[in-house]
Structure 1
Amino acid sequence: MAKESIKAKQRKKIKMAAKYADKRTELRKAASEGDWDAMMALQKLPKNSMPIRVHNRCQLTGRPRGYMRQFGISRVTFREMALNGKIPGVTKASW
């Protein structure tokens, strides 16, 4: 399980990316047209306001690897929950 500080940092990045999303899109559109002031303003925004800095993590454990987008959890947590029957419609394959 990931440390609480790492989970908190992730939540902070998500919140900041959502906060600056509209402003960032406007500035990027103006910067693509050649507006130098928009380019400078874009650089002055906080680094963590970029959505690319948000890393997919398991919602329950915070594990950064083996993330399954469809469920929002890691493969380890998914397997445990599927075997316990906590995910509806998911059963162990047998043939």
Structure 2
Amino acid sequence: MAKKSLIQREHKRKKLEEKYRLIRQSLKKKSKDSSLSQKQKIEIQRKLQSLPRNSAPIRLHRRCLFTGRPRAHYRDFGLSGHILREMVHACLLPGATKSSW
């Protein structure tokens, strides 16, 4: 189980990312405009850099829904590897079977 403080930090990052998403997208769109001068592009880049670091979507981690574990995360199920295995053993995931050889 992940520490509660790390999970709360991740929630805070997610809220910040949602808050600044539109601003970040509009600034990135403006910076790709070829009709702008170099000075204008630099100014747009400064505005982008002035946004909080934790508002960048790259800083978000996917976490397991049950344990909060950030590693060994399966996107299809939203679970970490060992929880996925336990649920497949218990037949709680329809269509998933445990392979054995």
Give the TM-score normalised by structure 1.
Answer: 0.88
AA of the residue aligned to 1:70 = D
Greater Rg over alpha carbons, structure: 2
Q: Quote how far apart the aligned CAs of 1:15 are.
A: 1.8
Matches within 5 A, 1:76-87: 76-87=82-93
Matched, 1:64 2:70: yes
Cα deviation 1:62-88 (Å, max 9, x = unaligned): 112111011111001100111111112
Q: Residue in 2 aligned with 1:51? A: 57
Count, aligned residues: 95
Q: Given residue 67 of structure 1, which amino acid in structure 2 is its aligned partner? A: H
Q: Map of 1:33-48 to 2, 5 A cutoff?
A: 33=33, 34=38, 35-48=41-54
% identity of equivalent residues: 43
Cα RMSD of the aligned pairs, angstroms, is: 1.5
For structure 2, the residue ranges without an aligned partner over 5 or more in a row are none
User: Which residue of 1 is the match for residue 26 of structure 2?
Assistant: 26
Moved beyond 3 Å, runs of 4+: none
